[in-house]
Structure formats: structure tokens, C-alpha cells
Structure 1
Amino acid sequence: MSPIKVEESIKQKYAESLLVGLTLAFCGGYIDAYTYVLREHSLVAGQTGNIVFLAVDIVSKGFVLTETRLFTLIFFVLGIFTISFIAEKFKSPYVKPFSLIPCILACLVIGFLPVSTPDYLVVPPLAFGVGIQTTSFSKIEGIPYNNSFLTGNVKKGMIAWNGFFFSHSLDEKHAALLYFEITFSFALGALVSASLQKVCGIKTIWLIVLILSVIVWRYLYLLKQRKNNGPQK
């Protein structure tokens, strides 16, 4: 096996591992709870909710106070476009670990900003980072999922349970359990975030810096180890 294929193999294996997927889902719920409580009830990745809130704000407040919702939507879309372009352009195993850097930097800086900082300067950068993250890490063990919002995961999970009920397929059961675990991990992240905010306030977001940094370090470590060990048969 060539070095390039070896790196591709470890990239796919680690990026699609259950632990990484559930950890990122935890982070997704954690960040959304953070911005919902501390930043004008904004949702970083739940654009369905943001569009509803945006429509209500336009009707009740006019266009003057809609910057946060609108910019969040735009930056989330830009994050998706950016990582899609980079991944297609460079096709490197290092794209995935480094795709977490924008979210890490945004969370690091935001933890220093006072609550008085305008929300439209805080939430959109997070949306950009999360848009990149959720696009870059989109599978667990070959099964498509989303680590930053749950609607699609819940739907796929119920379809999988239905498939298992009628066919007794172990693959359907595995997928159904996986989507349940993702949903639980996301909800747990939101619960932990809401709880820590009572103690740590705006600095609560720094836990995400730690978690994502560990994922990046571990990813790069595995790539380096496999590269140093040479091609594996």
C-alpha cells in the first residue's frame, strides 16, 4: 500500500470513528446551548430555527435588529462552501484535522469577549467554524450523520428502527442505535453547557477549545505514526 493510500486509510478510519463522531455531536449541542442562552437566542448550526427567528424579528422589529440571525446563516453557508472547495482542491489527509482550527480559534477568542460585545460579532464566526466542522466530519463508520443539528439524525434513526422492525437487519439496528447515541450526545452537550454557564459564564465556551484541540492532536499524531511506520501490508 502506498504512503498516500495509508494516510487516506487512517484519515477515514479516525474521522469516521464512533468516539470522534459522538464527541463532535456533544460539541454541537454545547455550542448551540451557549449561544442560545448568552447570545440573543441564536442557534449556530440550527438554521431552520434561525430562519424562523429571523422572519419573526423582521415582522416585529423590522430589519434593524436582524444582523445576528442573517449573518449567522450567511457565515454557516460560507463555512460549508469553504471546506468543500478546500477538500476538493487539495485532497490531503490533513484537511480534516485542520478543518477544526476555525472553530477552535473562534471559541478561544469569544471566551475573552464580554457579554456586552454585539452578538453579530460573536455568533457568525462560530457558525463559520461549525459549518466547516459538520461538513468535514459527516460520517460515522460509513453512516452519514450530522454533528451540529439533529432533525436529519432523528428522521434517519426512526427510519432505521422501522427497517429493523420489518427486516430484522443487524445493519439497520446498528444504524438506529448509532443515531440514538448521536442524539443523546448532542443533548448531553447542551445540558452540560447550560449547567456550566451558571458557574463559568462566557468562559464556558473554552471547554470546546480543549476538546477539539485533543481531536486535532490525536488525528495528527496517528497520521504521523502511520507515516513513520511506513506502508502497511
Structure 2
Amino acid sequence: MIGLTLAFCGGYIDAYTYVLREHSLVAGQTGNIVFLAVDIASKGLTITETRFFTFIFFILGIFVISFLAKKLDSPYVKPLSLLPCILACLLIGFLPVSTPDYLVVPPLAFGIGIQTTSFSKIEGIPYNNSFSTGNIKKGMIAWNGFFFSHSLADKHAAKLYLAITLAFALGALCSAELEKLWGIHTIWAITVILSAVMLRYLYLLRHEK
């Protein structure tokens, strides 16, 4: 359930920045690289800054959480890794649309970089909760394995990847619809959802102990 919730949040945040922040993508770095190249070619310097720093902050988030996970070696690192994204979404919901995009999108990219690195498996199966290309590919490979070899493991994996992809798409849809009503405050929904996930995870860890 946590994996699907995080996939929902990934789609939600990307739709939020795409609509309200000059078509910027928080997690889809392939798209950002393409957009950055186009921006450079057309000399759109303001947008280029946003793409560039989004890319750098996403990488930085991956590096930071990888470093902390090795140094601290604590089960609490994983749930607490949601804090940067929670705080970023909380603060950004107060910022007007006139706030420069390069002050809004990169902090979200940092949080998503941390989140997608910390939560990289669902039921022991590798997945990504912030973009869907890899999940779609792995899902189709799993479906292929099931159809031709009738492997129950492949069938289970295929269903999981399908559910993850649908959760991501549903998050993007909900974000786009809610933005019509709530505008910049739409991002606060992620603060609530991720806080609930983090607290639930911490509760389960404490209960296990």
C-alpha cells in the first residue's frame, strides 16, 4: 500500500509543477534533459536555470540519502527520508505563482530524489514511485513471461507494475483536477498524505520492536 501511495504522490507532484511551474518535471529527468537542451538552444535562460537546478537537486537527493543510509544503518532512515518532501510541499503551498520556478521546483526534486531512492522496492520487486517508463517496461516483460511460461511470479509482478502505473496516473489526474479549485495550495495534499505514510511506517517499526 505504501508503494502505491508513493506512486500516486509522484504523479501528483509532477502534474502540479507541469501545470503551475512552466511545464517543469520534478522526477522525470529524461524529460528535463530534453527540455534543458531545447531551452539552451532557444536561449530561454530563466527556464534553463529551473531545469538545470532541478536535475542537480534530484541527483543531490539520491547522493545524500545513499550516504546517510550507509552511515546511520538505521531502519528509521527510510520513513524519515520522506521529511524533505513533506516540508518542501508544505512551504511551497504558501508561495505565489509569481515566485521564480527555480526556487520552487528544485527543492521538490531533492525530496523526490531521496524518496525514490529510499523506497525502491515493493514486495521485494524493484520499482520506481516517481516516474513510469521503467515500471511500464518491467510490467510488459512480466506479462510476456506470464503469457508464455505461465509463471505465477511474473503474473504477480505484472499486476503490481500495472497497479503502480495506474496509481501514478491517478495522482496526476487528481492533481490536475484539484488545481482548478485550490491552485497553488493543491500541493498541500501531498504534505498530508506523506505525513500519514511516514507516521504509519514509524508506528509499524516501533510496534515490531
- Structure having the higher Rg: 1
Residue number in structure 1 paired with 2:9: 27
Offset from partner CA, 1:48-105 (integer Å, 9 cap, x none): 0001111111111254541000000000000000000000111101000100000000
SS in 1 for 2:99: coil
Change (3 A) 1:65 1:226: closer
Cα distance in 2 for partners of 1:30, 1:121 equals 19
Change (3 A) 1:206 1:142: same
Offset from partner CA, 1:173-210 (integer Å, 9 cap, x none): 00011100000000000000000000000000000000
Residue number in structure 2 paired with 1:147: 129
Q: State TM-score, norm by structure 1.
A: 0.88
SS in 1 for 2:131: coil
Structure 1 residue 153 displacement after superposition: 0.3
1:98 and 2:80 correspond = yes
SS in 1 for 2:98: coil
Residue number in structure 2 paired with 1:195: 177
- In the TM superposition, 1:55-94 aligns within 5 A as 55-61=37-43, 63=45, 65-94=47-76
Backbone CA RMSD of aligned residues: 0.8
Q: For residue 193 of structure 1, what is the amino acid of its counterpart?
A: S
Structure 1's unaligned 5+ residue stretches are 1-18, 228-233
Structure 1 residue 222 displacement after superposition: 1.4
Q: State TM-score, norm by structure 2.
A: 0.98
Offset from partner CA, 1:115-150 (integer Å, 9 cap, x none): 000000000000000000000000010000000000
Cα distance in 1 for partners of 2:112, 2:3 equals 14
- In the TM superposition, 1:1-233 aligns within 5 A as 19-61=1-43, 63=45, 65-227=47-209
Q: For residue 165 of structure 1, what is the amino acid of its counterpart?
A: F
